[in-house]
Amino acid sequence: MGAGMQVRGRVLSVASECVPLVKTGGLADVVGALPAALGRMGWEMRVLMPAYRALRPRLSAMREVWTEDGLFGGTGTVFLGEVAGISVMLLDAPHLYDREGGPYAGPAGDWADNAERFAALSWVGARMAREGIEGWKADVLHAHDWQAGFAPAYLAYGGTGGVGSVITVHNIAFQGWADAGRIGALRLPREAFHPAALEYYGGLSSLKAGLVTADRITTVSPTYATELLRPEYGMGLQGVIAARGADVSGILNGVDTDVWSPEAEPVPYSVKSLKGKAANRAALCAEFGLDVPSGPLAIVVSRLTDQKGIDLLPAVVPDFVAAGGALLVLGSGDPALEGAMRGLESRFPRRVGVRIGYDEGLSHRMFAGADAVLVPSRFEPCGLTQMYGLRYGTVPVVAAVGGLADTVIHASPAALSAGVATGVQFHPTDAIAFGQALRQLCALHANPALWGVVQKNAMRHPVGWETSAAAYAALYDGLAR
């Protein structure tokens, strides 16, 4: 927070991931970005997350602020410290978190005790919010996704202590399922095991628990908030969302415009002069061993999963390549999709380049050098890569769903003549519509005057946190009592 700024209130953010400590997806970016963005609005935020293996040494100025015996089978200790300007509290509970592997899974798949592991995080979050931490008393508890879903429930059933609660749905596909028989072990009231409260298809869902008990629900785009009312997007929770009516709202994610800045790339460029982009493009082609294409150089930076529509690429890439395009893919995930991407690369070695893995530095070089970013998702709560694309003048070609629909202005004839288009949208998410969108991309790219306008519109489109942080601040204001 800025020095001398008046504190509007305090928020305890409870999450399983936070950049720069742990990230498996966009959730971590958002959790890591909110403290600074909200700090500028006068809301002081601390993040509570698990102390996964080897995390503690990454905090500076660390001290113990909380301890609790008998925390789901062991002792939990909370350490408060700082990383990258964020006040982080790590819940150190070695019996739950000191393991080889990722946050949710080890070498043999998902951890069998995930319900307890994240119930513990939620439990401590609710207690710290309710009781205060050395005089630091939260006005609002902000729970993120299924991992923190039980936190509002513990407040609702165990006493709120005057703390308001918000749950943000970053992806409703992950619901935190647990057997009904674990309700007592999870410290939830058996009386609440009925459809209007905790019961979910005969079992428990930590996400549902949060959705029925939090004071407010947000999701990460306005369109996703309305999509969630429909079965194909709500994935079982559409009725729960509908029942909350006006308590549900959509607030778009932003991106860190200092980190994601074309002016910070190897050959800097800006909306005033895109000249540097051509040099980045040539370097990128060389890095991947591609011929420099006459048509658009497109990229995909993504988890390789069904959600992301990656399986559509083999159907559309041959025509795209024939039209002069080239494609670079960076991602990892489903082995079948990884194989399909490798298959495209061996079929078009000079036109398609694939890197299986996770590489932040490379993703920056790809956005700096490419002409377009492809995001053919089947559903997309918000999506970040289309926003990186906008910022870099790397024109987004997106399925018209969720946050993709909310952030990209489709190059319709009307938008083009009004001079406001920032990209291409297509619907539905299938190979026919995607192929058509790629043909439109090629046509736009072949018209340098038009292309330049779309690129510059994209780069001028605000993708920072300002608007969204103001929306969260207003939401918190309404909850602070």
Binding footprint of ligand ADP on the chain (CB under 6 A): 25-26, 29, 301-303, 330-332, 358-360, 363, 382-385
Q: How far is the CB of 293 from ligand ADP (least distance, A)?
A: 22
Q: How far is CA 213 from CA 153, 155, 198, 346, in A?
A: 5, 8, 9, 52
Least distance (Å) from ligand ADP to the CB of residue 306?
A: 12
- The tokens describing 79, both together, are 């350490």
**Identity of the residue, 87 or 377, whose beta carbon is nearer to ligand ADP in the bound complex:** 377
Tell me 51's DSSP state. Answer: -
Cβ proximity to ligand ADP: between 26 and 81 the closer is: 26
C-alpha to C-alpha distance for 448 and 464, rounded to whole angstroms: 28
Q: In the bound complex, what is the minimum distance in angstroms from residue 330's beta carbon to ligand ADP?
A: 5
What's the min distance (Å) between Cβ of 298 and ligand ADP?
15
Quote the least distance from Cβ 197 to ligand ADP, whole Å. 29
Q: Which residues pair with 342 in a beta bridge?
A: none
Q: Which is nearer to ligand ADP, 9 or 396 (CB)?
A: 396
The residue (of 119 and 397) whose beta carbon lies closer to ligand ADP is 397
Q: Are 360 and 338 in contact (CB under 8 A)?
A: no
The DSSP annotation for 389-421 comes to: HHHHT-EEEEESSHHHHHH--B--HHHHHHT--
Query: Smallest distance, Å, CB 327 to ligand ADP?
Result: 15
Compute the least distance from the CB of residue 475 to ligand ADP, in Å: 21
Q: 89 vs 374, which CB is nearer to ligand ADP? A: 374
Among 130, 137, 155, which Cα is nearest to 210's? 155
Q: Which is nearer to ligand ADP, 386 or 457 (CB)?
A: 386
The bridge status of strand 203-205 relative to strand 199-200 is: antiparallel
SS (H, E, C) 225-243: HHHCCCHHHHCCCHHHHHH
Q: Is the CB of 287 or the CB of 359 nearer to ligand ADP? A: 359
Residues in Cβ contact with 195 at an 8 Å cutoff, skipping those fewer than 6 apart: none
